[in-house]
Amino acid sequence: MKKKNSFKTSHNRRSFIKVSAATGGGMLIGFNLLTGCKSDPPAVAKPKVIPLPDPSQWFDINAYLKIGDTGLVSIISPNPEIGQNVKTSMPMIVAEELDVAWKDVVVEQSPLNSVDFDRQVAGGSQSIRQSWTALRQAGATAKKILVDTAAERWGIDASECSVSEGVITSPTGETLKYGELVAEASGREVPEEVELKDPSEFKIIGQSQVNVDMEGILSGTAVFGIDYRIEGMKHAVVLRPPAFGKELVSFDDAAAKNVNGVEQVLKFGNKIAVVANSTWAAMKGKKALTAEWKEVGPIEDSAYHTKTLKEHLVKKAEEARRVDGDVDAAFAQADEVIERIYEAPFLPHTCMEPMNFYANVTAEGAKLVGPIQTPKWTQSKVATLLGIEEDKVTVHMTRMGGGFGRRLYGDFADEAAEISSLIKAPVQVLFSREDDMTAGTYRPGSAYRFKVGIKDGQLSSYHLTEAFFNGEMFGNMPSNFPAGAIENYRVDCHNIESNITTGAWRAPYANFLASAEQSFFDELAEHLGKDPIDFRLELFAKAKEQPIGEEHNYEIDKFVNVIKMAREKSNWDTKKTGVHKGFSAYYSHNTYVAEVAEMVIENDLPVVKKVICAIDCGIVVNPKAAKNQAEGGVVDGLGHAMYGQFEIEGGRAKQTNFGVADYKLIRMMDAPEVEVHFAENQNDPTGLGEPTLPPAGGALSNALYAATGKRFYKQPFITEMEVKG
């Protein structure tokens, strides 16, 4: 018998005490809060595999799962679903260790539940990585209880039983199904130790499972935040300051109040809410408002941002983030010094579902429902805002129409809570697209300066300077590659204050740093007369043989492996007439990615036709969905590097919607084919929501150089193209 991994259970150890009434198949769509909705349940196409029938009684096993008397299993998905597939992939991990057939599983979204779950956050590509063991234990402990019950009934040792798809078999061939045992098992203590499967035994993990909300999405009945409704709910839109650095002086709401359906207009803080009986009435009411604003702070613009960033790049920080050797001494002795500056603008998140949230604040507390990546933080902020205890604030997460970091910040939930407390009624706040783009929590503008010294044909020094609004490189990023590979190495960061609200944006920091660095590497390799991949591999070899400095944050073998995979899968070393290739590789969010972009010239314009992507994210839980994440990250990364032109003018977003002359997101015509290859191994999984995005900009700029002979230093590249596409 294979050696099993034994783990102490760390999650909820409640045994089968709670028996709940059956809620039937309605749970399939998984948001039991919404039974108040008037829409009929969707007609679901007859599935190809028939699941077990709905139970008449459910038995709670632990926080993650309950089993019905028919054997049907309901698995609770703890983390918010923003399109990263956790509502499918996290329950798959539980089901794997529970040893049931995936067709016999229904999935339910958990609300915020800090008692049972540690990290109900969608961010940093961490959901699967950080919950991996807890999810497996949840399934494994339940399985053990059921097997112990069966063994007792048969009077044998539990180790003599085998389990497959919810059926326990004795050595003599007797069988018992989970559904037949669950009532009897309900008094048992949760075991303190459980055995987890060896990855070679996985039957569900590693097999592609369709998105559990597929029926809802295809029928239009999946409930996003914007779709949440409850009897008596009001609709609110908010007029916010017209620019960062402005404050409300006075307003005239006479015309707004005359709009059919508008019920109240009220000032809260520096904003005005229009409350109506329909969305359209609220939107019209807002348009009818007039307000006077005064300047209270600096009024910034993009020209100021560029100028300020560049001024900082020539300075050293008071304290460097990492120093190996002495870059200045090395520069003085170098045969040659090369310096390049890269710049990227502020960026809005442009989630397809504009920000929105529902709140109902009563004397009993506050009930919040909506799309949020950080329910726990929202609970805490709203409790503070309302001056009530945290346990009086409940947060339910709906499916989210994208997040990309914007929904880490619950400013919209705060607004809903504040308005509800003022009007004493349930309310949903909705941002228009223009609100969404002008009241953003933007990816800050940033710039990087790379300065290297070359001595005897080798890199002798490397100095990276970062200038960043409202933040700086965080964590162990200064120890990213090529730290460890170059004798004299230094990272300086400048954090410049801005009154524009900023925050995390898909693959924070790395999203542009990677693009800049990988472009620079390409130029450097060319300068040294080396193939771009060989150039990198030589640096890794150096870091491996004689690592510089105390530590670096990447595993050389994994990194080199994905680079070699991308080289092989893209036939990098075979030149193809008319195809121009760009290489890029980056490690972020615990996942290694290498990409090759293939570009051709069509009608005198450079076009990316294909991106080949090699990834090491450990065990791939749900392959087809994992590929989807990887493909999307590449398309998103290329799109923003190429087209994301966002400017601040007079303290306000200049681009406010998706019009032709306005903000451009990548569209189908511009999206290349993406070919995804995963490294095959049995390491614990890491995330995929972000890591394929950072290298994409570099692969693009390097392919652009190969195709056009021009280097691109400023995003979006479209602004530096001679012919605009």
Partner 1 sequence: MANYKIKINGETRTVEADPDTPLLWVLRDSLELRGTKYGCGVAQCGACTVHVDGAAMRSCSLPISQIEDQEVKTIEGLSPDLSHPLQEAWREHDVPQCGYCQAGQIMSAAALLADNPSPSEKEIESFMNGNICRCGTYNRIKAAIQTAAKK
Of 18-77, binders to partner 1 (CB under 8 A) are 37-39, 42-46
Residue 59 or 505 having the CB closest to partner 1: 505
Tell me how far CA of residue 255 lies from CA of 55, 258, 262, 267, 279, in angstroms.
56, 5, 10, 16, 17
Residue 226 or 704 having the CB closest to partner 1: 226
Phi, psi of 461 (to 5 degrees): -155, 155
Residue 533 burial (10 A CB sphere; 0-12, 13-18, 19+): buried
Residues 97-156 that bind partner 1 (CB under 8 A): none
Give the Cα separation of 130 and 90 in Å (integer).
11
| x-or-dash string of contact with partner 1, 383-412, rule CB under 8 A | ----------------xxxxxx--------
Query: How many residues bind partner 1, per CB under 8 A?
Result: 76
Closest contact distance (angstroms) between CB of 44 and partner 1 is: 7
Residue 46 or 575 having the CB closest to partner 1: 46
Q: Which of 10, 175, 210, 602 binds partner 1 (CB under 8 A)?
A: 210
Q: Which of 633, 644, 694, 695 binds partner 1 (CB under 8 A)?
A: 633
Closest contact distance (angstroms) between CB of 322 and partner 1 is: 34
| x-or-dash string of contact with partner 1, 497-536, rule CB under 8 A | ----------------------------------------
Q: Which stretch binds partner 1 (CB under 8 A): 123-131, 193-201, 245-253, 625-633?
A: 625-633
Q: Which of 636, 646, 648, 713 binds partner 1 (CB under 8 A)?
A: 636
Tell me how far CA of residue 117 lies from CA of 64, 83, 113, 507, 701, in angstroms.
9, 20, 6, 24, 42
Residues 261-280 that bind partner 1 (CB under 8 A): 261, 278-280
Residue 465 or 715 having the CB closest to partner 1: 715
Q: Which stretch binds partner 1 (CB under 8 A): 389-397, 464-472, 573-581, 661-669?
A: 661-669
Residue 19 or 210 having the CB closest to partner 1: 210
Sign of dihedral through CA atoms 406, 408, 413, 415? Answer: negative
Alpha helices in 493-582 (DSSP H): 510-527, 532-545, 556-569
Give the Cα separation of 239 and 272 in Å (integer).
5
3-state secondary structure 328-379: HHHHHHCCEEEEEEEEECCECCCCCCCCEEEEEEECCEEEEEECCCCHHHHH
Give the Cα separation of 259 and 274 in Å (integer).
11
81 closest CA partner among 41, 110, 113: 110
Closest contact distance (angstroms) between CB of 724 and partner 1 is: 17
Q: Across the strands, what pairs with 502?
A: 442
Residues composing the chain: 725
Closest contact distance (angstroms) between CB of 591 and partner 1 is: 17
Residue 402 or 410 having the CB closest to partner 1: 402
Q: In this structure, are residues 75 and 94 in contact, taking their beta carbons and an 8 Å threshold?
A: yes
Give the Cα separation of 342 and 364 in Å (integer).
53
Residue 3 or 724 having the CB closest to partner 1: 724
Does 363 interact with partner 1 (rule: CB under 8 A)?
no
Residues 695-714 that bind partner 1 (CB under 8 A): none
H or E stretch at 271? strand 271-276
Q: Which of 28, 82, 243, 274 binds partner 1 (CB under 8 A)?
A: 82
Q: Which stretch binds partner 1 (CB under 8 A): 54-62, 327-335, 429-437, 444-452?
A: 429-437
At 406 the three-state DSSP class reads: helix
